[in-house]
Amino acid sequence: MKEADRRTSEEMYVSSDVLMERAALKTLTAIDMAFPSASRFLIVCGPGNNGGDGLALGRLLLESGTRPDIALIGGEEKCSPLEKKQLASVRALDPELLLLSEVPSFPYDVVVDALFGVSLNRKVSGEYAEAVERINALRLSGAGIVSIDIPSGIDALSGKVMGVAVKADVTVSCGFVKLGELLFPGASCCGRIIRAEIGITDKALPAGDYIHALSPGDIRLPVRRSNTHKGSYGKVLLAAGSADISGAAVLAAEAVLRSGAGMVRVFTHENNRTVIGCRFPEALISTYKDGEDITELKKRLSEEAAWADTIAAGPGLGTDKTALAITEELLKIHADRPLVIDADAINLIAGKKTLLKYADENAVFTPHIAEMSRLSGEAPEEIKADPVGKVRSFMEKNKTNIILKDARSVIGDLKFGIYVNLNGNHGMATAGSGDVLTGICAGILARRTEGISPFALAAAIHGRAGDRARDILGADGMCASDLLKYIDDSEETIKGGLPE
């Protein structure tokens, strides 16, 4: 964004003054929409162009007859040149310029955070930390908090809190949304994100690998045609379930068909035949027995795989030698067919990393943070601190695809790039949710989508189903099987824009 800002000014001849004015105007519009009856304003400005945006906003309010309080943190001597111009313009209108110590504690209607923008690269301390704490205290007293560009204290790249951070109700993200506003913990500080187009276009962006998010209108299952049959929508072989675990196989199998695939065959332990048959009679079932000869098992598995055009493995599969044989065989024979690798299959590969060489551009791993840690050998806290970087490095090193599951799932697609999924909720933090995602992913891959990342689409449809379940059942009352009811597109319940 810093480079795009420079290019816009120096190469496209849209001056920084104009961009600052537009940022202020867009912020004023956002305030009018979010807090239409507000009359008491405090604008807290830092020593840079973000502070200049705040001063420009103060001037607009003064011109309209509203008299905001303005606090300039750090002193005039630390202002950027552009901010000094805005300060001179504001002073001509005789504003209320306050020191931080002079800011009253009575409730404001709106407090505008214009302390720091995307350039923050060190811990917030001293009077700046005091300013952040004062803003947050005023929020507790009833004021609405509006951050210009990004909540102060959030690292714009990682979402890390740099010591302390403003807790905003509305964030007016200028130009393009920043990754740190989408990843936690930064995302929890942004409130509602409004992207403000201030004149920085795609043409001003420097070359690079950008992070994508599917818009609500893109979150659609592939179109079904009238003149079709079950074979038109793909056949999925699902290796799931063990002698002691059947539920994961049921959840994943049903999710395959709920995602629109034509057929699903579950390859599972013989103990699960009755459970799966009763719970989900639409599934075909093939079983193996305890102590079955591994060579014979692999032969039968290969025959079952030849029937399928998409394969998934892992949910509830177990980690014994039979599960390892199944995982290894499917990795070796999936060839040009999509392969979804989840749960126990991931753990087995983590224990025998030589198997990673069989993963390719047709495979996708779907680990949560702990599974990713086992797979990559990196600590969970390292992965959470830089999920995008870890996904990118895993994808590039192993030449395969990945869905890293977390509160903000990060998807690495060799063809389409990196995505951050923006929907879903904490009600999905329950046993079985990952099994449903495996089924959705396999079902979508079986249908051979075009022009869109099937992995990002699967994650988004999974999250949308979770949001629908939460809206009806509440986050505490939902379980993984509830997601199955809300996978399809029959009800239009998607809201536009970025999540709150």
Q: Where are the domains of the chain?
A: 2-207, 216-486
Percent of the chain topping pLDDT 90: 94
Asked if residue 145 has pLDDT above 90, the reply is: yes
Tell me the sheet residues that pair with 148: 172
**What's the half-sphere exposure (Cβ side, CA atoms, 13 Å) at 210?**
10
- The closest of 136, 147, 144 to 34, measured between CA atoms, is 144
pLDDT digits (tens, 9 = 90+) for 442-476: 999 999 999 999 999 999 999 999 999 999 999 99
User: Which listed CATH number (3.10.20.30, 3.40.190.100, 3.40.605.10, 3.40.1190.20) goes with 216-486?
Assistant: 3.40.1190.20
Instruction: Say how far apart CA 229 and CA 200 lie, in whole Å.
Output: 48
Order of strands across the sheet that contains 41-45:
96-98, 69-72, 41-45, 110-114, 144-148, 170-174, 192-196
Close Cβ partners of 318 (under 8 Å, ≥ 6 residues apart): 242, 243, 244, 245, 344
Asked if residue 91 has pLDDT above 50, the reply is: yes
- The closest of 136, 186, 126, 146 to 35, measured between CA atoms, is 146
Instruction: Say how far apart CA 69 and CA 53 lie, in whole Å.
Output: 15
Asked if residue 22 has pLDDT above 90, the reply is: yes
Instruction: Say how far apart CA 313 and CA 392 lie, in whole Å.
Output: 23
- The closest of 309, 344, 340, 339 to 325, measured between CA atoms, is 344
| Burial state string for 281-311 with b = 16 or more CB within 10 A and e = fewer than 16 | eebbbbbbeeeeebeebbeebeebbeebbbb
User: Which listed CATH number (3.40.50.970, 3.40.50.10260, 3.30.460.20, 3.40.50.150) goes with 2-207?
Assistant: 3.40.50.10260
Tokens of 58: 């103060």
- Cβ(239)–Cβ(315) below 8 Å: no
Instruction: Say how far apart CA 489 and CA 496 lie, in whole Å.
Output: 15
Phi-psi region for residue 228, left (φ > 0), alpha (ψ -120 to 50) or beta?
beta
Q: At what angle do helices 387-398 and 369-376 cross, to 10 degrees?
A: 40
Instruction: Say how far apart CA 439 and CA 297 lie, in whole Å.
Output: 23
pLDDT of residue 209: 84
Asked if residue 496 has pLDDT above 80, the reply is: no
pLDDT digits (tens, 9 = 90+) for 206-249: 998 899 999 989 999 999 999 999 999 999 999 999 999 999 99
pLDDT mean across residues, the chain: 95
pLDDT of residue 491: 53
Q: Other C-beta atoms within 10 Å of 351: how many?
A: 12
Q: What integer is the mean pLDDT of 77-94?
A: 95
Instruction: Say how far apart CA 259 and CA 87 lie, in whole Å.
Output: 57
pLDDT digits (tens, 9 = 90+) for 99-144: 999 999 888 999 999 999 999 999 999 999 999 999 999 999 999 9
Q: What integer is the mean pLDDT of 37-41?
A: 97
Q: What integer is the mean pLDDT of 73-84?
A: 94
Q: What pTM, to 2 d.p., does this model score?
A: 0.94
Instruction: Say how far apart CA 393 and CA 396 lie, in whole Å.
Output: 5
Instruction: Say how far apart CA 293 and CA 298 lie, in whole Å.
Output: 9
CA distance to 111, 324, 329, per residue, from 105 (Å): 12, 64, 67
Phi and psi, residue 351, nearest 5°: -85, -10
Close Cβ partners of 326 (under 8 Å, ≥ 6 residues apart): 239, 267, 297, 301, 313, 317
pLDDT of residue 38: 97
Bond before 185 cis per omega within 30 degrees:
yes
Percent of the chain topping pLDDT 70: 98
Order of strands across the sheet that contains 401-404:
211-212, 417-420, 410-413, 401-404, 363-365, 339-341, 310-313, 235-239, 263-269, 284-288
Q: What is the residue type of 141?
A: S
More confident residue, 500 or 200: 200
